Amino acid sequence: MTFEQDDKPKLGKPLANIKVIEFAGLAPGPLAGQLLADYGAQVVRIDAPNKPSIDRLCKDKRSIALNLKDKEQWAVARDLIRNADVVIDPYRPGVLEKLGLGPSVFLNAHKGLNKRLIFARLTGYGQKTDKSHWAGHDLGYLAESGILDTIGPAGQAPVFPANILGDFASLSLPAFAAISLALYEREMKEKRGSAVPGRELDVNIVQAVQYLGLFVSHGRYPDGEGGIALFENERGTNTLDGGSPYYQMYETADKGEYLAVAPIEEQFYAQFVEMVGLDLDKLPNRFDTDNWAELKKTFSDAIKQKGVQHWREQCDKYPNSSCAVMNKLAKPEDVKDQIVTWTSKSSDKYQNVGFKGKVLEANNDAEDVIKGFLGKGYWQKVKAKL
């Protein structure tokens, strides 16, 4: 694969002509870069020399290794960014400024080297907060956001879903969205003749998690007429956070194998009760929380009588029961597209993003990257120094 400019983006690849520089970092930056690559962007990861990368979120990317403290290699990084559309900065605030590669170098209204650049900065606490200088990881950011106060059983420590909620759902995905919107905004700015159509983006986990948690927040602190208090009780005792018998995980006869039960609506609940072999008329009122403990035991006893295969078959037989057997985490090679190709009304065929890829070796694509971004002549000048 070489980075040669096409006149038109490929169908289904709307970012085909977008060039992205991704500084190697931990999980959020790599997934944001992979999402951009999935939609056609030409993503180059800048790695540190002689430092193996643990990143496996690198499908369709290229790598160049540069020592940013070496003057000549630093100049290559600067020139790559000068010719890029997007930079993904995974470092703590101030790191790239100290290296002379901060946003002001490129986006300054008078002397900026690339005023079209979208400079996306991905952090836990944000660029300009009282904790911006703090070190941290996913768990600490979730604690700071307050979202952990909503997850876990009553009377016990909060639980957390690996690093999926913070790093990925609240940083990679918002970064991808922010970058995509900023690219669109850049087009609008250029049509209006803006002097600096690019921009710096501050995407951080704490604020993004709080935004994602607005539904729960409104449910705990309802205000105004018609407000619904879905989460007003102690964590783990509400309908949607583990308190309800009809929104619950139940172990089957096979140890460690679970059935997810979520028939909130009346018609789904009736299907579920029939599926597990119970009589709806003989069950206590499910909306009375005083009956929840009894119902949990009743459902648990019924579900534990059969193994997981039986419940798979029952879920197929009762598709409106709103139940599902818990699967094991998929292997990367087993993750598939929900839509592979589709045809528009004009009969154009579109190809969806894919998941095939390989481990990205640091500096594996230096020549390809330099020639694609900066030209063959530039490569001839710097190849002996890389």
> Which residues belong to the active site?
137, 167
Among residues 84, 48, 90, 233, the alpha carbon closest in space to that of 149 is found at: 233
Tokens linked to 344:
């528009």
Q: What are the distances in angstroms from CA 324 to CA 214, 271, 313?
A: 27, 13, 10
Residue 41 near residue 20, CB atoms below 8 Å? yes
The DSSP element (H or E) to which 44 belongs, if any, is strand 42-47
Q: Following DSSP, what letter does each residue of 166-197 receive, concatenated?
A: IIIIIIIHHHHHHHHHHHHHHHHHHHTT-S--
Q: How far apart are CA 248 and CA 280, in angstroms?
A: 18
Instruction: Please name the residues in contact with 362: beta carbons below 8 A apart, sequence gap of 6 or more.
Output: 24, 47, 48, 49, 51, 52, 53, 63, 65
CB contact at 8 A, 61 and 45: yes
3-state SS, residue 265: coil
Gap between the Cα atoms of 177 and 377, Å rounded = 36
Return d(Cα 185, Cα 199) in angstroms, integer: 10
CA-CA distance, 241 to 151, in Å (whole number)?
A: 7
The residues, any chain, with a CB within 8 Å of residue 224's CB and separated by 6 or more, are none
The alpha-helical segments, DSSP class H, found in 200-291 are 205-212, 214-220, 266-275
**Alpha carbons 135 and 145: distance in angstroms, whole number:** 15
Distance CA 229, CA 265 (A): 18
